[in-house]
Amino acid sequence: MLRDDGQFTELEAKVLDICLVLHAEHGGGNNSTFTNHVVTSSGTDTYSAMAASIASLKGPKHGGANLKVQEMFADIKANCKDWDNKEEICAYLNKILDKQAFDGAGLIYGMGHAVYTNSDPREVILKSFAKNLSDEKGMEKEYALYETVENEAGQLIMNKRKMFKPVCANVDFYSGFVYSMLGIPEEMFTPMFATARISGWCAHRLEELVNAGKIIRPAYKYVGWHRDYPKMEERK
């Protein structure tokens, strides 16, 4: 727990266990696990395959999203005076979506998933433990802010992007908040994800070694415009 005295509550220990279990495996299609399959198929060693997966996981759209969520909420807290004012929060979230606030990327981090639409089952579980932990830590107000953003952001994204499928919070939405309540430094957030996911990576690497034999090479098709290639002497 990165504590000098080694002391922690029963709830803290349980929440940490839950985080590790929820992040341990999530199929072969996510970016870091697919990276593991691709790199393993080249015939390289285990260390190289795991290093490649970690490099993928580090990205802010993948495992690094939990830290991005924390940074985003720090920005929201600094710019929204009344955390109970839903209209003020929604107005600022729209600024984020319009690339006028936070990092200018136009993303509400922790919202949306490539597979899940109505809900991310991992997030549902983690949210309940985040609520219990916030009660124990006296951080009910912060939890309420997270819940407000979660409840409003999905519809705002759908309206802004003209989407018809629901947009739900993913597991990264509350994981950084949970880690911060556990007293884990921010620079350890993504390594915590990797610590949990390495069991899944190992399983997928074994699967690739047993079942494969051919190197993975996704096909790409050019869909742009073709044009004539003028000779150098004919160019203006």
Task: List pLDDT tens digits, range 49-61.
Answer: 999 999 999 999 9
What confidence score (pLDDT) does residue 234 get?
86
Distance, in Å, from the CA atom of 33 to the CA atom of 54, rounded to the nearest integer, reads 9
- Looking at 5, 172, 204, 226, which residue is catalytic? 172
CATH H-level, domain 10-211: superfamily: Cytochrome P450-Terp, domain 2 (1.10.230.10)
pLDDT for residue 227 is more than 90: no
What confidence score (pLDDT) does residue 212 get?
67
Confidence band of 122 (pLDDT split at 50, 70, 90):
very high
Closest CA relative to residue 204, chosen from 58, 62, 60, 39: 39
Q: What is the pLDDT of residues 145-196, one digit of tens each?
A: 999 999 999 999 999 999 999 999 999 999 999 999 999 999 999 999 999 9
- Looking at 113, 135, 226, 228, which residue is catalytic? 113
What confidence score (pLDDT) does residue 2 get?
63
What confidence score (pLDDT) does residue 37 get?
96
Query: Is 113 among the catalytic positions?
Result: yes
More confident residue, 236 or 171: 171
Once rounded to an integer, what is the mean pLDDT over residues 193-210? 96
151-160 own/partner pairs: CB under 8 Å, 24+ apart: 152/86, 152/89, 152/90, 152/93, 153/93, 153/108, 153/111, 154/111, 156/90, 156/93, 156/94, 156/97, 156/108, 157/97, 157/108, 157/111, 157/112, 160/94, 160/97, 160/98
pLDDT for residue 209 is more than 90: yes
Once rounded to an integer, what is the mean pLDDT over residues 72-94? 97
Q: What is the pLDDT of residues 13-34, one digit of tens each?
A: 999 999 999 999 999 999 999 9
Once rounded to an integer, what is the mean pLDDT over residues 130-153? 98
> Which residue reads 């947009």 in tokens?
167
Break the chain into its structural domains and give their ranges. Answer: 10-211
| Mean of all residue pLDDT scores within the chain | 94
Query: Is 103 among the catalytic positions?
Result: no
